[in-house]
Structure 1
Amino acid sequence: MDWKDHLAKLTPLKEGLKGKVSTEVNVTPSSFEEVEEIIRLANALNLKIYPFVGNSRHFGPSISANVGVDFSSLNKIVELSEEDLYVTAQPGVSMIELFSYVKKRGFLLPSFYDGSLGGMLGTNLPGPFSTFFGYPRDSILMGIIVTGDGKRIKAGGKTLKFSSGYKIHKLLTGSLGWYGTFLEATFKIYPYPDEMVEVSVSPNDAQQLLRSELRPIGIISFKDRAKVIFEGSSSYVRELEKRFTSISEWRPESFRYPNKKFITSISVTRGEELRYLYDYPFEGEAFLGTGYVRFFSDDKMQINGISEKGDIPIKVSKSSLLVKNALDPKWVMHTVEVNPTSYV
């Protein structure tokens, strides 16, 4: 019996993806159990899995897999706790929808992305709040995960107080689906501020603000200027208006990532992100996080960093391989070809 016949017994088959990502068939599971069964079958039949939601923002080199697993049907906002300050949702949820849902209830979700929750977890991209709040990896409290060997596990806890054990949910965040995939994720939320404003300044001024007592929540930098984002009470914003001549309201819902050919990231000394940023000539935009800089450009960056978009070889650390072999021993979730000479 052909492997497609085996798979069709579990779930309806759909036409596969074509282009940068190619799959022979796609499936759209509607339950956690279905996802587990699909991955277990892939282990038994030596198939390769590509998890995605929409596939509109693929990162990294071209991919070829047997089965594309579309998580768009797992799209529920599960729970919001006003007492313990967290929100839980499934990977198919739109992050803009989730952000708005949390905001309407008077809270701020500091992890922002203009795609799906699953896409944000896979890429761990910084956003407009990363300078202060860090990356999605810093905000995630708990995850329900299916690893590459088909095991469902819960990692972390819904509050920091009760979070213990291995931080597998943080390892998976930013792994591009290489170790396994999320079924559900819980994030820390905060009371929504009275106001959010943006200030346009020079790169040198942005560097000073980054290290000042004003503590901006985000910095989006361009070649010759920077957009600095602040949030706080109305009285705090009135004080900012006295200090800056160019200040205006900023709406997170209007934020979108730039559409560039290459995305490259580097790890830097925390607090020195802008200084490192301007050591590299670039045309485009850069987002600053807690010890990281991510460049969005149409030209390939000649830097010793990590490529996230564009046909550039992926470098894999030895520690990543150890995690890979532990969580996905048959390399079912092997969504990128890794050359042994690329190990670092």
Structure 2
Amino acid sequence: MLIHNVYCKEVYEPYSYEEIVELVKKANEEKIKVHPIGLGNNHIGKKIVADICISTSKLNKIIEISKSDLYVTAQAGVSVDLLQKTVAEYDLFLPFIYSGTLGGLASTNKPSIFSLLYPYPKDFILGAKIITGKGEIIRSGSRTTKFSSGYKIWKVLSGSLGSLGVYTELTFRLLPKPEEIKYTEVEDPLKYISLRPWGITSIVRDGKITNYLIFGSFSTFFDRISREFSFTFYDGIPESKLDCEKIFGIVTSRGEEIEVLKRFSNGIAYVGAGYVRVCEKKALELRNEGYNVIIEKGCEASEDCFGFKYLTFDMLKMALDPNNVFA
């Protein structure tokens, strides 16, 4: 079965963490490959072939929401859209846009449109329950931001694309829900940093760059700065979907995003996150200039999808998945 860019010989939908443990132990014994999946919408890199795909779709319970302490604990298969709607009933908000599950949000660790103030999901993960490649259940982290003891295993897995372990539960820090979220188009977005926008997103289409400021605040704030700066505000967030066969992610220095984007005809810059996404293959040429360039979508078997390798990752792989069961 092909689920987007993951080929699964068998797909399991466990209802419990213990079932996942048994599947991982089976993989160790039989020397077969396992890959965790959520909704399968956000695969990064080349096609993965796995003997067993572990879907978190049945692990879809929101366990606890604390309005006073600003956190939510939920199972990894909960969709981000559902979580947003649920915490909104408590006047709370998770500042990320993602078309998948909480486990996928953490595993891909993609920046989103609020990236100036809230760059990456891992910065909001307070703790998690994880199943390692050894078939061990590890609870790591806490429900408070003041927790600092022990190894931050829950952050180590963030961005590892399911190659180090399986998220089963996650605790995310939340924000008070803003009264309104609005955006406005500006010529020079960096000129307005002092206004504390949540995000500065620049989008280039057919060589033309459009810059947006995104704010979350009270209606009185929008009324005041509309008058002061002659801004025209629109409700919600700007349309920022990048729809192309291949997508390249370029890691930049913070503040350099727009200048890098100017070198391309179609793409998005997330100012503050140090990340630019473009459609053109010439992005790979930036590797020669010292940039890390990831082929997010459409990576072929013959291509180097990530362009870099860290010794730290190899050490973590040996510690968490010594038999290399996670594809």
Q: TM-score, normalised by structure 2?
A: 0.89
The one of 319, 322, 326 aligned to 1:326: 319
Say if 2:248 and 2:280, in contact at 8 Å, map to a contact too: no
Q: Please report how far the alpha carbon of residue 296 of structure 1 lies from its aligned counterpart in structure 2 after TM superposition.
A: 3.9
- In the alignment, what sits opposite 2:251? 267
1:108 CA displacement: 1.5
**Deviation (angstroms), 1:307:** 2.6
The answer to whether structure 1 residue 59 and structure 2 residue 44 are counterparts is yes
- Local SS of the residue matching 2:135: coil
- Which residue of structure 2 lines up, in the alignment, with residue 194 of structure 1? 179
The 1:216–1:267 alpha-carbon spacing in structure 2 relative to 1, beyond 3 Å, is same
Task: Provide the residue aligned with 2:202 in structure 1.
Answer: 221
Q: State yes or no: 1:301 paired with 2:289.
A: no
Look up the match of 1:96. Answer: 81
SS at 2:7 equivalent: strand
Asked if structure 1 preserves the Cα contact closer than 8 Å seen for 2:264 and 2:280, the reply is no
Task: Name the CA distance, whole Å, in 2 between partners of 1:137 and 1:249.
Answer: 29
For residue 248 of structure 1, report the CA deviation from its aligned partner.
Answer: 2.3
Q: Show CA shifts across 1:77-116 (max 9, x none).
A: 1110011110111111111111111112111211321222
Does structure 1 retain, via aligned residues, the 8 Å contact 2:45–2:296?
A: yes
- What's the CA shift string for 1:145-186, capped at 9, x where partnerless? 111121111111110123421111111111100111100111
- Counterpart for residue 264 of structure 2: 281
State how far apart, in whole Å, the 2-side matches of 1:274 and 1:256 are.
15
CA–CA distance in 2 between the matches of 1:175 and 1:206?
32
* Distance of 1:56 and 1:306 partners within structure 2: 17
Is contact 2:59-2:78 (8 Å) kept? Answer: yes
- Cα distance in 2 for residues equivalent to 1:34 and 1:270: 42
In structure 1, the gaps of 5 or more residues are 1-15, 336-344
Deviation at 1:195? 1.9
Single out whichever of 293-302 and 216-225 deviates more from structure 2.
Answer: 293-302
Alignment of 1:7-22 (within 5 A): 16-17=1-2, 20-22=5-7
Alignment of 1:66-145 (within 5 A): 66-145=51-130
Query: Does the 8 A contact of 1:286 with 1:294 survive in 2?
Result: yes
Letter in structure 1 aligned against 2:190: Q
CA offset digits 1:268-320 (Å, max 9, x no partner): 33334333433x32413233343x21304264523222232221413321211
After superposing the two structures, state which structure 1 stretch, 241-250 or 106-115, moved more: 241-250
The residue that corresponds to 1:5 in the other structure is: none
TM-score, normalised to structure 1's length? 0.84
Q: How far off is 1:262 after superposition?
A: 2.9
Give distance in 2, aligned partners of 1:158 and 1:29. Answer: 25
CA contact (8 A) 2:80 2:102 kept: yes
Say if 2:261 and 2:267, in contact at 8 Å, map to a contact too.
Answer: no
Question: Residues of 1 paired with 2:118 and 2:94: CA distance?
Answer: 10
Q: Deviations over 1:245-273 (max 9, x none)?
A: 44223326x96743333333333333343
Shift of 1:25: 1.0
- The 5 A counterparts of 1:207-246 are 207-209=190-192, 212-223=193-204, 224-246=209-231
Distance 1:148 1:257, change over 3 A: farther
Q: Matched residue pairs, number?
A: 312
State how far apart, in whole Å, the 1-side matches of 2:282 and 2:78 are.
32
- Pair 266,56 (structure 1): closer, same or farther in 2 beyond 3 Å: closer
Q: For residue 263 of structure 1, what is the amino acid of its counterpart?
A: I
Runs (5+) with no aligned partner, structure 2: 288-292
